[in-house]
Amino acid sequence: MRLSPYPDGKAFAFTIVDDTDGSTLETIRPVYEHLHSLGLRTTKTVWIRPPATSDATADSEGDTLQRAEYREYVESLQASGFEIALHNVAGASSRREEIISGIDEFCRIFGHEPKIHIQHEKNRDNLYFDVAQDARRLPSSFRSRPARAMHSLVNRWLGRSSAEGPQRFACCGEEPESEYFWGDVCQSRIKYVRSNVFLNDLNTIRRSPQMPFHLARTPFVNYWFDSSNGGDRERFDALLSERQVSRLARENGCSVLYTHFGRNFTEQTAGCRELNRETRERLGNIASRGDGWFAPAGELLDRLLAFQRIAFAPFSNGALLHNSNPFDVCSCSLWETPNRRLYTPAGQVFTPNAKKRLTLPSLKSGATLLLLDEELFSALRPWNGNRSCALAGDMASVWRKLRELLPDVEGTLRRMKAGHA
C-alpha cells in the first residue's frame, strides 16, 4: 500500500512555468487560448516594468505590466484559473526600493503576494545564484546512504578540481550590504523560488524527489523547486513526446515543465497568429489523459509540501496516517490497497475501487488515522469485553446456570455411577 500526493486518485501531475522573456500580448495570446481550451491551468511569470539599468540584453525584451492591454489580458488569465508569478520585477537588475515597489504593484494588480519567483538571467538582484544554478550544490536525489555518500564525495572532488571559484556571478540579492539586497523581502513575501538547474526529464520529481526543499545555507529562500527543461519550442515538444508522457503516468510522476512561450511558439499564418501545430498536438495529448492532475505550479508545490508532513506506515492488516500540517488535507489517495474494505476503530468504512485505490475525503490537522482490515477490526473490544470465542463463552454460561438450578446434579451423577458399579 502506498500514499499518493495527487487528489482524486489521479495518477500523475503536470504543470508549466512560463518564463516571460520575449513575451508580448500578441505572441502569447494564442498559446494561452489553447491551454485554456484544454483545461490546462499553468503558471505565467511577469515583469512589472521595463529595465531601468543599462545591463538589459535582448533577453530583457518583452511586455511588462506597464502596457495596459497586456496587463488586462494577464488579469483575465488569473481570473480563468492561471497562476501569475514574478520573474524579478524587471528584465534587468533592480535595486531594493525598486523591487519593493514592484512587488507592491504586483499585489495591487493581482490582489495577493507572488507565491513563486523565477530568477531572470544574471540580474544582480538574483538570490544565491551560485547555489541556484549549480546542480552539485542541491540536495542529492539518491535515497540510500551509500549512494548519498558517493554523491557527496564525487561533488567534493568535482568542486576542488573546478577552475572556477564559488562566486562566479555578480548576483547579490542575499547580501545585506548590497544596493540589490532584498533577501528579507523574498523571505517574508515569496514562498517558492525556482532553482536554475535544468532537468532533462519530464518527470521532475524523479530527479528531484525532495522538492520543494529548504536549504539551511540559503535562509532567505523559503523553498526551492526544480523544473524540467522545456526552455525552447524544440525541447518543450521533445519532453512532451508520447513516450515521456506515458512514462510520467506510469511512474506516478510530477512534472514542472519550464519554458519560454514568448520564443517562437506562435506563427503568423494567413494574417493571424497561431500556436504551432506540433506543440498544439502534444499539449492536446497530455491534456486528454483522464488520469492527470493539471494545476498551477504553486498549487502543485503546496500539495507536495503538505504531503512531506503526512507520515504513512502500511502494515499487513492496515495502515496508519498522521497529518502534522496545521491544516486539513483533502482527498488523500491510497494506492494498491487490499481488495477489501478498511475500517477506522470508530467504525467508519472505506471501500477501495476496482483499481485498488482508496480516497480519504479529508485528513484532519493533527489527526492520526488508523485503518484496519475486517479481521483486525472485529478483534477490537473494550477492556472488559469477553476475550474467548462468543459461542464457547455462552456455552460455559449455560453450564453455570444449569449447575445453579440443579445444585445436586453432581451428587446425583456420582450416585448413578456408584449404582452401576
Nearer to Zn ion, 40 or 118 (CB): 118
**CA torsion sign, 22 to 23 to 28 to 32?**
positive
Nearer to Zn ion, 115 or 194 (CB): 194
Q: What minimum distance in Å lies between the beta carbon of 127 and Zn ion?
A: 15
Cβ neighbours of residue 200 under 8 Å, at least 6 residues apart?
228, 229, 239
Nearer to Zn ion, 19 or 98 (CB): 19
Determine, following the binding rule CB under 5 A, whether residue 18 of this chain makes contact with Zn ion.
no
How far is CA 210 from each of CA 17, 214, 215, 329, rounded to the nearest angstrom?
19, 10, 11, 19
The cell for 149 is 555518500
Nearer to Zn ion, 60 or 141 (CB): 60
Q: Which stretch binds Zn ion (CB under 5 A): 109-117, 118-126, 172-180, 185-193?
A: 118-126
- Say how far apart CA 190 and CA 252 lie, in whole Å: 28
Nearer to Zn ion, 21 or 299 (CB): 21
Determine, following the binding rule CB under 5 A, whether residue 125 of this chain makes contact with Zn ion.
no
Q: What minimum distance in Å lies between the beta carbon of 99 and Zn ion?
A: 16
Nearer to Zn ion, 60 or 255 (CB): 60
| Length of the chain, in residues | 421
Q: Which stretch binds Zn ion (CB under 5 A): 15-23, 75-83, 206-214, 280-288?
A: 15-23
**CA torsion sign, 118 to 121 to 124 to 130?**
positive
Nearer to Zn ion, 86 or 286 (CB): 86
Among 1, 10, 17, 21, binds Zn ion (CB under 5 A): 21
Long-range contacts of 64-72 (CB under 8 A, 24+ apart): 64/90, 64/91, 65/105, 65/106, 65/109, 67/25, 69/25, 70/24, 70/25, 71/109
Residues 172-211 that bind Zn ion (CB under 5 A): none
Q: Which residues of 385-395 are buried (b: 16+ CB within 10 A; e: fewer)?
A: eeeeeeeeeee
Q: What minimum distance in Å lies between the beta carbon of 335 and Zn ion?
A: 38
Determine, following the binding rule CB under 5 A, whether residue 120 of this chain makes contact with Zn ion.
yes
Q: What minimum distance in Å lies between the beta carbon of 190 and Zn ion?
A: 16
Residues 221-280 that bind Zn ion (CB under 5 A): none
Q: Which stretch binds Zn ion (CB under 5 A): 5-13, 113-121, 247-255, 385-393?
A: 113-121
Nearer to Zn ion, 21 or 83 (CB): 21
Q: Which stretch binds Zn ion (CB under 5 A): 20-28, 169-177, 229-237, 378-386?
A: 20-28
- Say how far apart CA 26 and CA 49 lie, in whole Å: 18
- Say how far apart CA 274 and CA 269 lie, in whole Å: 7
Determine, following the binding rule CB under 5 A, whether residue 299 of this chain makes contact with Zn ion.
no
Q: Which stretch binds Zn ion (CB under 5 A): 12-20, 339-347, 379-387, 410-418?
A: 12-20
Q: Which stretch binds Zn ion (CB under 5 A): 6-14, 30-38, 115-123, 248-256?
A: 115-123
Q: What minimum distance in Å lies between the beta carbon of 57 and Zn ion?
A: 10
Determine, following the binding rule CB under 5 A, whether residue 19 of this chain makes contact with Zn ion.
yes
The amino acid present at 197, given as its one-letter code, is: V
106, 223, 185, 61 alpha-carbon torsion, rounded to 10°: -50
CB-neighbour burial class of residue 340 (10 A; exposed 0-12, middle 13-18, buried 19+): exposed
- Say how far apart CA 251 and CA 243 lie, in whole Å: 12
Nearer to Zn ion, 195 or 337 (CB): 195
Q: What minimum distance in Å lies between the beta carbon of 179 and Zn ion?
A: 22
- Say how far apart CA 379 and CA 335 lie, in whole Å: 25
Backbone angles phi and psi of 69, in degrees to 5: -65, -40
Q: What minimum distance in Å lies between the beta carbon of 21 and Zn ion?
A: 4
Nearer to Zn ion, 20 or 252 (CB): 20
Task: Give contact residues for Zn ion (rule: CB under 5 A).
Answer: 19, 21, 120
